[in-house]
Amino acid sequence: MTDTETRPRPLLLIVGPPGAGKGTQATRIAETFGIPAISTGDIFRANVKDETELGLKVKAILDAGDYVPDSLTNELIGDRLAQRDAEAGFLLDGYPRTVQQVEFLDEFLGGRGKALAAVVQLVADRDEIVERLRRRALEQGRSDDTEEAIRHRQDVYLRETAPLIETYRDRGLLVEVDGLGSIDEVATRIDEALTGAGFRPTASAS
């Protein structure tokens, strides 16, 4: 067995504004490092579809038009991270979103002798992102996706993530990457940034 095959895989988090291509890049990073990309949206949908006990709770909350509380979101994330494929490493997308979720993740990983290795932040000019999303909405005939609505989502993202980003910056975990450009250009920047921070891809991805 080679050194590359035995090298521990990283525990990563990716954050970025709506429209920055975070989901696409999350999938590519996960493939590069041979780790699962774990999205809160995917977890919610999977549990609702499978009608698990947690999924039924989520469905009832969403059907009522309410937000899934931190306590339930944390329970779902803990259940997913405890699964075998996430034991060696993972990439979180869409979690944590609140300080309480950061605290839960710290405690969950700490209880297993683990910790996040890096937080990839896709940075993009707000006006350029808004224009990109506005053009996409027009192309897809989504007349309800107005510039006002798009800017509101950007504001919500900034308000929610600012405290988290500063927390991870203070810990020295933040890896900032320019999120504007083609998918391949951004992916290359992410690879170079993570390599520069000391992370190397798995044997199967190299």
Residue 205, in any domain of the structure:
no
Residue 125, in any domain of the structure:
yes
Residue 204, in any domain of the structure:
no
- Domain carrying residue 58: 3-193
**Per-residue confidence (pLDDT) for residue 7, from 0 to 100:** 53
**Per-residue confidence (pLDDT) for residue 140, from 0 to 100:** 86
Q: How would you label 31-70 residue by residue, b for 16+ Cβ within 10 Å and e otherwise?
A: ebbbbbbbbbeebbeebbeeeeebbebbeeeeeeeeeeeb
Residue 163, in any domain of the structure:
yes
**Per-residue confidence (pLDDT) for residue 19, from 0 to 100:** 86
Residue with structure tokens 């990839």? 120
Each of the 206 residues of the chain gets a pLDDT tens digit; together they read: 344 444 568 999 999 988 888 999 999 999 999 999 999 888 988 999 999 998 999 889 888 877 789 999 999 999 999 999 998 899 999 899 888 999 999 999 999 999 999 999 999 998 999 998 888 888 888 777 788 888 888 888 888 888 999 999 999 999 999 999 999 999 999 999 999 888 888 755 44
Residue 166, in any domain of the structure:
yes
- pTM, 2 dp: 0.85
d(CA 68, CA 201): 35
Residue 200, in any domain of the structure:
no
Biggest alpha carbon distance in the chain? 55
Q: Are 132 and 20 in contact (CB under 8 A)?
A: no
Q: Which residues are catalytic?
A: 22, 97, 136, 142, 153
Looking at the 3D structure of the chain, how many domains does it have?
1
Q: Any idea what DSSP says for residue 116?
A: -
- Indicate which CATH number applies to the domain containing 26: 3.40.50.300
